[in-house]
Structure 1
Amino acid sequence: MSVAERTHLIGLISDTHGLVRPSVFDALAGVQLILHAGDVGGRDVLVELEAIAPVLAVFGNTDEPDHPGLETERVHTVGGVSIHVSHGHELGRPTPAALLAAYPQDVLVYGHTHRQLITRAEGRLVVNPGAAGPRRFDLVPSVARLTIRDGAPDVELVPLT
């Protein structure tokens, strides 16, 4: 098996709130899958993202309950690494400790707070890619790139312009 077959690249995005910035296409170029952690803001967002790669998305607290293609949570395994995606609002105030206590997967992806975060704990990874949509608060819009190489996950935040 070649190194390329053992390396997986996944785009992480959240809180688009109906906006796909043009810079998302460069930031997520080359990913094999996109995981959207909620507050999508409409089907058009998913259609635009699907031009980059297949998309698995979850409901956020602002998404319509009958939004097609959204689940309450997603559990997906890539390269031997289990990944849990939810918006985080289901825990009230999502924190790494709350997510680690609630979900057993190797990588936990969430949104809701709009704040970028990467935490490693107990041999696991907790990631909030930040908000990719309309700028709110004093936060720089961002996404993240999750790389799984030989069964080991690593992540980097990518600011959007």
Structure 2
Amino acid sequence: MSDSVWSLPLSGTNVAVLADCHIHDGGPQFPAELFPRLQGADLIVTLGDMGDRSGLDQLEQIAPVLGVRGRDDADDIRTRRSELVLTDEGYRIGCVFDAKAVGLASSCDPFVEADGAAEVCRRLFGGPVDVLLHGGTHRADEARFGAKGSALNPGSAVLPAEGAKPTFLRLRVTSEGCYGQIIWVA
């Protein structure tokens, strides 16, 4: 099995998804309001540009952390991959930092699926995904992806795009479905 494919028992799982936080010593830090909102997460998935390891360490005090690398990430085993697929018997969740750069989107803000995205999914994730998680824009977004899936961007809990609110994504996986909800931090 590829290092980028993680089989996890996803049913009944609460996943918190963050991106674009850029945590650095002497620079941006997580807002205090974020940590209580993350309580109850079984897993925290990061989608790149998290910054220094210290940010991942803070998140790992709440739940295990797994993710993909962006342009502004320290070398860390938790985020060493450029793509990640979380799978169990019922769902496949694909994770990338920049969906446009890897060929899944023709635009990321707002998300527009690229022609040929199905082939890119086969190459990156070994097949279609039910949910595509992506970052890189600092703005929360939800769009249709593939025949029956969604593309979800959590935005940024620390440095949202101009005019956007600080956000992250809560993903709930149940036997009835996979549900994403954008959560405002403050």
Q: CA 1:14/1:99 → structure 2, altered by over 3 Å: closer, same or farther?
A: farther
Tell me if 1:28 matches 2:28.
Answer: no
Quote how far apart the aligned CAs of 1:68 are.
1.3
Are residue 112 (structure 1) and residue 128 (structure 2) matched? no
The alignment of Structure 1 onto Structure 2 pairs a total of residues equal to: 155
Question: How much does 1:61 deviate?
Answer: 2.0
Residues 148/58 of structure 1: CA separation in 2 closer, same or farther (3 Å cut): same
Report the equivalent of 2:18. Answer: 13
* 2:169–2:183 Cα contact (<8 Å) kept: yes
Q: Which runs of 5+ in 1 are unaligned?
A: none
Q: Structure 1 stretches (4+) deviating beyond 6 angstroms?
A: none
Long gaps (5+) in structure 2: 1-9, 24-28, 122-127
1:86 aligns with 2:96: yes
In the TM superposition, what is the alpha-carbon distance from 1:58 to its structure 2 partner?
Answer: 1.1
Q: Give me the identity figure in percent.
A: 30
Shift of 1:136: 4.1
C-alpha spacing 1:34/1:124, structure 2 compared with 1 (3 Å): same
Matches within 5 A, 1:1-161: 6-18=11-23, 19-64=29-74, 67-69=75-77, 70=79, 71-78=81-88, 80-88=90-98, 90-91=101-102, 93-94=107-108, 95-98=111-114, 101=117, 102-103=120-121, 104-121=128-145, 122-150=147-175, 152-161=177-186
| More contact order relative to length (CA 8 Å, sep ≥ 6) | 1
Mapped contact 1:7–1:148 kept (Cα < 8 A) = yes
Q: TM-score, normalised by structure 2?
A: 0.75
1:75 aligns to what SS in structure 2?
strand
